Amino acid sequence: MATPDFAPFAYKMRTAGLSQTFIDNFGYYYDQLVHGSTGYIACVDAQPVTDLPAYEALDAAMQQAGKAALERTIVLKLNGGLGTSMGMDGPKSLLPVKDDFTFLDIIVRQLLHLREASGARVPLLLMNSFHTRGASLAAIKRYSDFTQDIPVDFLQHMEPKIWKDSLLPAEWPQDPDKEWCPPGHGDIYTALVDSGMLRQLLDAGYEYAFVSNADNLGAVLDLKILGYFASQRVPFLMEVAQRTAADRKGGHLARGGNGQLVLRESAQCPPEEEDDFQDIQLYRYFNTNNLWLNLRALADLLEQQHDILGLPLIRNEKPIDPADPTTPRVYQLETAMGSAISIFAGAQALCVPRSRFAPVKKNSDLLVLMSDAYLLNEDYTLALAPECNALPPVVTLDDRYYLLYASMRERFPTGVPSLRHCVSLTVNGDVTFGRDVTVMGNVRVEAPEEETLYIEDGTKLSGS
């Protein structure tokens, strides 16, 4: 097949108002696709990592170093997600999660408390999408005391989907929005430059950025980690945690043939190596997507590479309409922001407690956060209840009835159960929970097929 011309993509992107910088970045990955790149990283190029520095070894000196660096630090949250997999059409960060506070409420209040306690300016920066920007900025405006010396957000890009068969721009006249997709959170680096935000941050005297997902309330700015990052002059630091059986399919840390650390996502694993990829004894660490960036090092590297970092490609194949698997197949070209660990010379990883990783990907995750298994501290950080013994309960809800947020809330009309004494809760079938239900130990609740089971008010569900 002849190499398709990139011109139709460039025209489509320019017409949509995208910059030449981003068009050049998209062209870099499109060229790889055309020349047969799958984005796969074989085991031979992803050797296991056996040992890493641990959070527990960070001492009081690192805490002091963190305090000294706080004035030059920002908190950056990825806030582009709509929560479509949970049946939402608005920003996921505006979901109520604790005491009627949303994710974004808690994030803002954390920053306000930190500023008051430390005297440091510590701004919040959101990487929004076109879909999340308006509602998220409106939510922040409700906090009249939340002011800062830089803008609150910048926008991530959007890119064309590519027909799998022809490698030409996908066209879907019945819903043109479906011709576009986000380029993955690896776009953060190009978007920081393209928006002018990176230059604004440096001009305002900021040097360090703590980056994490808005739906991960375990990711709070930690002074010991900041102190380690700043005092050791690390250009890029990834927080990783020990893998468990629940993390078998997620991205893991490895070491490339040149000795540099690399991140390998599931979409980058050759199919024949899937067993090794999922071996949690072989590949011991997973990426929490909590990252620390030296902003000056980032600016220097982008300048050297003409604003194209060259992150490893992730080729994702999907139906053009995500809600209809029978629609024609497209490629989405994505990158992961954590994969920059292979680009920065001297990049490091730090093994952190799993408590720093509490993302909400499904309603089962949300239910745990909403329950009394998590406590909201005075500084608006979350902590597991002492009864949980440092392990959050594992909740599995039947996707037939709990996949969508509205459907889940209908089945907990008067509040979520007490889960602080729960080890695991599995709900199969259509079950509605009454008021003040308590779950203890390992519990399985099953409704008869095609019937609704009601758990009475005040019920104590006990298991092994």
pLDDT digits (tens, 9 = 90+) for 189-217: 999 999 999 999 999 999 999 999 999 99
Q: Is the pLDDT of residue 1 over 70?
A: no
| pLDDT confidence band for 415 (50 / 70 / 90) | very high
The pLDDT, as a whole number, for residue 82 is: 80
Q: What is the pLDDT of residues 323-332, one digit of tens each?
A: 888 999 999 9
| pLDDT confidence band for 246 (50 / 70 / 90) | confident
- Tell me the average pLDDT across 317-322: 92
- Out of 3-7, 161-165, 403-407, give the one with best mean pLDDT: 161-165
Mean predicted lDDT score pLDDT of the chain: 94
Element (H, E) at 132: none
State the DSSP string of 385-434.
-GGGTT---EEEE-HHHHSSHHHHHHTSTT-PPEEEEEEEEEEESEEEE-
Q: Is the pLDDT of residue 382 over 60?
A: yes
The pLDDT, as a whole number, for residue 406 is: 92
Q: What is the pLDDT of residues 31-44, one digit of tens each?
A: 999 999 888 999 99
Round to whole Å and give the CA distance between 96 and 98. Answer: 6
Report percent pLDDT > 70 for the chain: 99
Round to whole Å and give the CA distance between 387 and 1. Answer: 62
The pLDDT, as a whole number, for residue 421 is: 97
List, in sequence order, every beta strand (DSSP E) within 157-281: 159-160, 162-163, 180-181, 208-213, 236-242, 252-255, 261-264
Round to whole Å and give the CA distance between 154 and 194. Answer: 10
| pLDDT confidence band for 308 (50 / 70 / 90) | very high
CA angle (131 as vertex; 128, 133 as ends), nearest 5: 45
* Cβ atoms of residues 312 and 343 within 8 Å: no
Quick one: which of 393, 445, 373, 372 has its CA closest to 459?
445
DSSP state at residue 128? E
* Cβ atoms of residues 357 and 218 within 8 Å: yes
| pLDDT confidence band for 3 (50 / 70 / 90) | low
The pLDDT, as a whole number, for residue 250 is: 85
Report percent pLDDT > 90 for the chain: 89
The pLDDT, as a whole number, for residue 463 is: 87
Q: Is the pLDDT of residue 2 over 50?
A: no
- Tell me the average pLDDT across 92-116: 95
Q: Is the pLDDT of residue 89 over 80?
A: no
One-letter amino acid at 415 equals G
Predicted structure pTM score: 0.94
Round to whole Å and give the CA distance between 264 and 337. Answer: 12
The pLDDT, as a whole number, for residue 222 is: 97
Round to whole Å and give the CA distance between 62 and 223. Answer: 7
The pLDDT, as a whole number, for residue 245 is: 83
3-class state of residue 256 by DSSP: coil
